Amino acid sequence: MSRRGGRWVEPHRCIVDHSIPTSAYFSSSQNILKVFTRVLYAAEMTVLLS
């Protein structure tokens, strides 16, 4: 069981390590987009209200 688990865990670790930078980049870019749209929305609202 432990040997099988080790064999299963090793490739999984490699895959996870490989995908971490990509997913981090994607999540950070998505966050930047969300913040950007929020800022634009806030600017529009202030312009409309003033």
- Tokens (6 digits) for 17: 């390590």
Name the percent of the chain lying above pLDDT 70.
48
How many Å is the Cα radius of gyration of the chain? Answer: 21
Domain count, the chain: 1
Using 50, 70 and 90 to split pLDDT, how confident is the model at 1? very low
Q: Which domain holds residue 35?
A: 1-50
> Residue 49 has what pLDDT?
86
Mean pLDDT of all residues in 18-25: 63
Query: CA end-to-end span of the chain, whole Å?
Result: 69
pLDDT tens figures, 7-16:
555 555 555 5
